[in-house]
Structure 1
Amino acid sequence: MVEYQTSPLDTIFHALGDPTRRRMLHALAGGERTISQLAEPFAISLAAASKHIKALEKAGLIRREVRGRTHLCRLEPGPLASAHEWLGFYQRFWTDRLDVLEQLLRDEDAQAVTPDSATPDKGDEK
């Protein structure tokens, strides 16, 4: 039997791939929330909300603390830094590529306006 290891980055992007979980993270950026508070904006059961929270916990994006019967969740932003770093490579890649494209277009525009075309023809003078 082949066993596959999932990288932490895969787990983070899997967790971020769901819009419900992204909105939950956004809510947690404002401070601790209970599972009920996280589930409230959505038409989902507490069991469904708990499954989303487990995916976020598995990715290390949130930490859950049990106080009596209340489960409080809080944002753990550390793993987002590795995702940001990974995305930063592609941001730099596309910025560089777009800079090259911009220079090519500027060069093309500069070649289109030649010194000969900038002076009026003798027949065009009035």
Structure 2
Amino acid sequence: MNLARRLPNKITTEFFLIGILHRIGLLSLYTDDDKKGGRPYVYPTIVILRCYVVRIWMRIPSNNCLHYYFTINGTYNKKIMRSCDLDTLPDKRTFDRRFKTLPVQNIIGNIGKKICIRKNCRLYHCIS
């Protein structure tokens, strides 16, 4: 049997999501938390971004449902919570406020630039 044909069947969505969350942490996409004035965030923007990715990936319809999802004591839920670097669970209101101000378009643009720079993408020069 060909190993290449069997391998994609073995990859589960759980490991794929955890891999995506890990990659988001490695890219260091958003570090403007230190530059803003006022009280510092309890949860860094990268942690909130990971929670947002979980919400989109799992097709969770609202922030309240995301909060409820993290409160369930399942092993899968706890794995996802650890992958998001959440030691304690943010309040529902924290999700509301932080998702509202999350600069998703800037972050996606930064991801594209980092990928293109690492791959020497010729398309990047046309975009910028």
**TM-score of the two chains, using structure 2 as the length reference:** 0.35
With a CA cutoff of 8 Å and minimum separation of 6, indicate the structure with the bigger relative contact order: 2
More strand per residue: 1
**TM-score of the two chains, using structure 1 as the length reference:** 0.35
